[in-house]
């Protein structure tokens, strides 16, 4: 196999990878700005410099020339090379900043040039603390600036589109943003204008940067030039925790990080998963986070009055116990996780009711064959694999009008807003609902409400429209758990070093709700049904053993990047 030596360490490789990507893949840190693995390499930032040498060969024989110790003599190229555009070759010898004074000096000088016109905005810049330019300036840059002239001034606070703001002075002209719109989203909505030190990215005349993936340029900008109009100045990176999870606005299962401050979701950013969303996230996946914070019901109710959980469970039990199985309609949810829907199905079966149904939330033509899908829920495929069928308005209304349904047991759905029935249709029907929004119209007429934890507060499994199973972990706490003791919740500096009495900690941000896999078994147990599982992990184990569509599925198998259900079934 071909070999390359990097800083006196030998690596084997196949093909002809670019040295920078090869270094990154092998955890050799090489500073860089303009390179992105998904896009072309213009080599314009000049920060990824390396020294490149090849064994010197005798021209007559072609054999390597050896020094007096028997080692090959290495002939280094006279100029420094950019590692992002330098293919690795067999026998190549590379020196990075770790072993070369020349490279260290070149990178330091390059940073001095990049910083000449860069404003000292770090104290008020959203990117500070998570900024490649700031990090590299600290690690590799000069300690101070020698530039004594006035900096070049460019436009600031330019609204490129509804979601992205540009600060032209912070731009280092890496062209990552323009390449994204040219090569990835292909919207061609950004270009570089002006010349020399005055240039910066801009939309062509008459164009608004409003493509559905515009906010990806914020993540890939290696400085704070492009910021989110929604998130600007709301929180510093060290004040937030970030937890890996998935988004729920589409059925793609795009991987994300939920950023949390004071137990509120502040923003959503992409998480790399080459099997699902690669490096990207649709804007609608990012901006749909307020429903996790706002309009949340807190604490159960009976006939609209707040009660304890025990009283609510007892009332639900009483309503269900009065009915024959067929008189109860269980409605699951493609927004709820597999575990909750599975338990709902078990409870329905144990009471002699039909398998739960679910409500479709597809918007025909909304999908783009990329990360935006027609289906606007994360787990329709999971529901189908649990043998649940879509509920239609006609069938619901006809069953309601015939008086066949006495109790409607609903998991995280709003049948009225979805247009499946009206409040009048439900007169005479007792409604029990696990709700997570006070705008759910069923709440106003429900006999019992049991507030449900959302994906950002619980562990759960979701199956994408392609049959890819992934699990969520809690990003924020609910009232029933101690955030500090929840190992899976990301930790911010305030979490690690703060106290509950700190001024950034507000008790009212802890919502009194429970995951369905906690509350459904309590209702079932009150009815004498045994639905006891130690936790969601054991629910998935049981499902894996009892349903072929989930054969072999486990939390370990899903890990952080998920797994294709067909693949795991083939090896089960």
Type and span of the H or E element at 495 = helix 493-497
225 binding partner (options ligand SF4, ligand FES, none; Cβ < 5 to 8 Å by kind): ligand SF4
Of ligand SF4, ligand FES, none, which one sits near residue 176, judging by CB under 5 to 8 A according to partner kind? Answer: ligand SF4
Residue 172 binding ligand SF4, by CB under 6 A: yes
**Does 94 contact ligand FES by CB under 6 A?**
no
Cβ-proximal residues to 265 (8 Å cutoff; 6+ apart), any chain: 258, 259, 289, 290, 292, 293, 456, 475, 476
Q: Does 400 bind ligand FES (CB under 6 A)?
A: no
- Strands lying side by side in the sheet with 407-411: 305-306, 301-302, 448-449, 430-434, 407-411, 328-331, 357-358, 389-390
Indicate which single residue of 221, 265, 420, 443 sits in contact with ligand SF4 (rule: CB under 6 A).
Answer: 221
Rounded CA gap, 464 and 572, in Å?
Answer: 20
Q: Which residue has the tokens 């019901």?
A: 297
Instruction: For residue 176, state whether it binds ligand FES (rule: CB under 6 A).
Output: no
Minimum distance of ligand SF4 from residue 19's CB (angstroms):
22
Nearer to ligand SF4, 279 or 462 (CB): 279
Q: Is the Cα dihedral 215, 467, 343, 440 positive or negative?
A: positive
Report, in Å, the least distance between residue 43 CB and ligand FES.
4
Which DSSP symbol is given to 117?
A: S
- Interface with ligand FES (CB under 6 A), residue from 6, 13, 28, 46: 46
- Partner that binds at residue 117, options ligand SF4, ligand FES, none, CB closer than 5 to 8 Å by kind: none
Name the segment binding ligand SF4 (CB under 6 A); options: 86-94, 220-228, 235-243, 468-476.
220-228
The span of 218-226, 256-264, 455-463, 484-492 binding ligand SF4 (CB under 6 A) equals 218-226
* Residue the block writes with tokens 């709820």: 336
Kindly tell me which of 169 and 339 has the beta carbon lying closer to ligand SF4: 169
Cα dist from 522 to 58, 275, 371, whole Å: 81, 37, 37
Q: Residues 6, 18, 50, 84: which binds ligand FES (CB under 6 A)?
A: 84
217 vs 251, which CB is nearer to ligand FES? 217
Total residues at interface with ligand SF4 (CB under 6 A): 13
Q: How many residues bind ligand FES (CB under 6 A)?
A: 11
Show contacts with ligand SF4 in window 503-562 (CB under 6 A): none
Q: Of 16-45, which residues contact ligand FES (CB under 6 A)?
A: 32-35, 43, 45
Q: Is 320 in the site for ligand FES (CB under 6 A)?
A: no
Does 47 interact with ligand FES (rule: CB under 6 A)? yes
Q: 507 burial class (0-12, 13-18, 19+ CB within 10 angstroms)? A: exposed
SS3 for 398? helix
Task: Indicate which single residue of 174, 421, 450, 549 sits in contact with ligand SF4 (rule: CB under 6 A).
Answer: 174
Return the number of the residue (27 or 305) whose C-beta is nearest ligand FES: 27
The helix (H) or strand (E) run that includes residue 434 is: strand 430-434
DSSP codes of every residue in 177-201: HHHIIIIIS-----EEES-GGG-EE
Which residue in the set 53, 161, 201, 270 belongs to the binding site for ligand SF4 (CB under 6 A)?
201
Contact present, 3 and 11 (Cβ < 8 Å): yes
- The listed partner (ligand SF4, ligand FES, none) that binds 279, CB under 5 to 8 Å by sort, is none
**CA 353/CA 159 separation, integer angstroms:** 55
**How far apart are the C-alpha atoms of 320 and 450, rounded to whole Å?**
15
Judge whether 20 and 14 are in contact, CB under 8 Å.
no
Q: Which of 82, 86, 242, 373 binds ligand FES (CB under 6 A)?
A: 82
Name which of ligand SF4, ligand FES, none residue 43 binds, using a CB cut-off of 5 to 8 Å depending on partner kind.
ligand FES
Residue 566: how many other CB atoms lie within 10 Å: 12
Q: Which option in ligand SF4, ligand FES, none does residue 84 bind, with CB closer than 5 to 8 A by kind?
A: ligand FES
Per CB under 6 A, does 184 bind ligand SF4? no
- Which positions ≥6 away from 21 have C-beta within 8 Å? 35, 37, 84
Of 226, 235, 268, 563, the residue at the interface with ligand SF4 (CB under 6 A) is 226
For tokens 């693949």, what's the residue? Answer: 567
List C-alpha distances in Å: 484 to 12, 392, 428, 494: 44, 44, 45, 11
Asked whether position 48 contacts ligand FES by CB under 6 A, the answer is yes
Query: What is 227-288 written as a DSSP string?
Result: EETTTTTS--GGG-EEEEEE--SSTT--EEEEEEETTEEEEEEE--BTTTTBT---HHHHHT
- Residue 25 to residue 48: CA distance in whole angstroms: 15
Query: Using the rule CB under 6 A, is 411 a contact of ligand SF4?
Result: no
Please choose, out of 49-57, 167-175, 312-320, 513-521, the segment that lies near ligand SF4 by the rule CB under 6 A.
167-175
Distance CA 151, CA 234 (A): 28
Asked whether position 475 contacts ligand FES by CB under 6 A, the answer is: no
Residue 201 or 460 having the CB closest to ligand SF4: 201
**Among 4, 92, 131, 171, which residue interacts with ligand SF4 (rule: CB under 6 A)?**
171
> Which DSSP state fits 489?
S
The residues binding ligand FES (CB under 6 A) are: 32-35, 43, 45-48, 82, 84
Binding site for ligand SF4 (CB under 6 A): 171-177, 201, 221-223, 225-226
């Amino acid at each position: 196999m071909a070999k390359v030596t990097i800083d006196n360490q030998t690596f084997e490789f196949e093909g002809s990878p670019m040295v920078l990507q090869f270094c990154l893949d092998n955890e050799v840190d090489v500073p860089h700005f303009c390179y992105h693995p998904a896009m072309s390499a213009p080599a314009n930032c000049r920060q990824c410099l390396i020294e490149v040498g090849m064994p010197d060969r005798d021209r007559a024989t072609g054999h390597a020339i050896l020094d007096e110790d028997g080692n090959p003599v290495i002939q280094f190229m006279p100029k420094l090379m950019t590692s992002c555009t330098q293919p690795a070759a067999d026998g190549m010898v590379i020196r990075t900043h770790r072993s070369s004074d020349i490279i260290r000096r070149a990178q330091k000088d390059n940073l001095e040039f990049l910083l000449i016109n860069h404003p000292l905005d770090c104290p008020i810049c959203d990117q500070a603390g998570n900024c490649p330019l700031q990090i590299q300036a600290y690690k590799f840059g000069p300690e101070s600036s020698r530039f004594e002239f006035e900096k070049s001034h460019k436009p600031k606070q330019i609204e490129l589109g509804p979601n992205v703001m540009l600060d032209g002075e912070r731009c280092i002209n890496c062209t990552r943003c323009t390449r994204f719109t040219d090569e990835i989203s292909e919207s061609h909505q950004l270009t570089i204008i002006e010349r020399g030190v005055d240039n910066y990215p801009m939309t062509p005349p008459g164009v608004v940067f409003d493509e559905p993936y515009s906010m990806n340029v914020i993540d890939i900008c290696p400085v704070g030039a492009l910021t989110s109009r929604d998130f600007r100045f709301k929180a510093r990176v060290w004040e937030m925790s970030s937890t890996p999870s998935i988004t729920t606005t589409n059925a793609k299962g795009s991987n994300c990080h939920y950023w949390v401050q004071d137990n509120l979701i502040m923003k959503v950013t992409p998480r790399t998963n080459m099997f699902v969303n690669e490096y990207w996230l649709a804007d609608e996946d990012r901006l749909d986070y307020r429903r996790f914070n706002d309009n949340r019901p807190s604490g159960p109710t009976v006939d609209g009055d707040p009660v304890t959980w025990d009283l609510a469970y007892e009332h639900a039990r009483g309503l269900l116990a009065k009915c024959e199985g067929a008189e109860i309609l269980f409605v699951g949810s493609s927004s709820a996780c597999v575990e909750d829907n599975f338990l709902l199905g078990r409870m329905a079966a144990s009471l002699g009711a039909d398998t739960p149904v679910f409500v479709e939330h597809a918007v025909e033509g909304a999908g783009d064959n990329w990360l935006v899908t027609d289906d606007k829920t994360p787990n329709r495929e999971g529901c189908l694999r649990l043998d649940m069928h879509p509920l239609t308005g006609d069938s619901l209304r006809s069953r309601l009008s015939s008086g066949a349904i006495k109790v409607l047991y609903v998991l995280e759905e709003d049948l009225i807003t979805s247009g499946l029935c009206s409040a009048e249709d439900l007169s005479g029907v007792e409604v029990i609902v696990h709700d997570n929004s006070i705008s759910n119209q069923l709440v106003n007429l429900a006999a019992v409400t049991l507030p449900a934890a959302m994906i950002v507060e619980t562990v759960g499994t979701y199956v994408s429209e392609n049959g890819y199973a992934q699990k969520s972990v809690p990003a924020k706490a609910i009232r029933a758990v101690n955030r500090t003791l929840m190992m899976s919740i990301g930790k911010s500096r305030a979490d690690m070093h703060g106290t509950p009495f700190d001024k950034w900690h507000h008790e009212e941000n802890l919502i009194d709700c429970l995951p369905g896999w906690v509350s459904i078994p309590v209702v079932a147990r009150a009815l004498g049904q045994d639905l006891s599982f130690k936790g969601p992990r054991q629910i998935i184990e049981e499902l894996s053993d009892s349903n072929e569509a989930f054969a072999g599925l486990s939390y370990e198998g899903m890990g952080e990047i998920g797994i294709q259900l067909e693949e795991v079934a083939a090896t089960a």
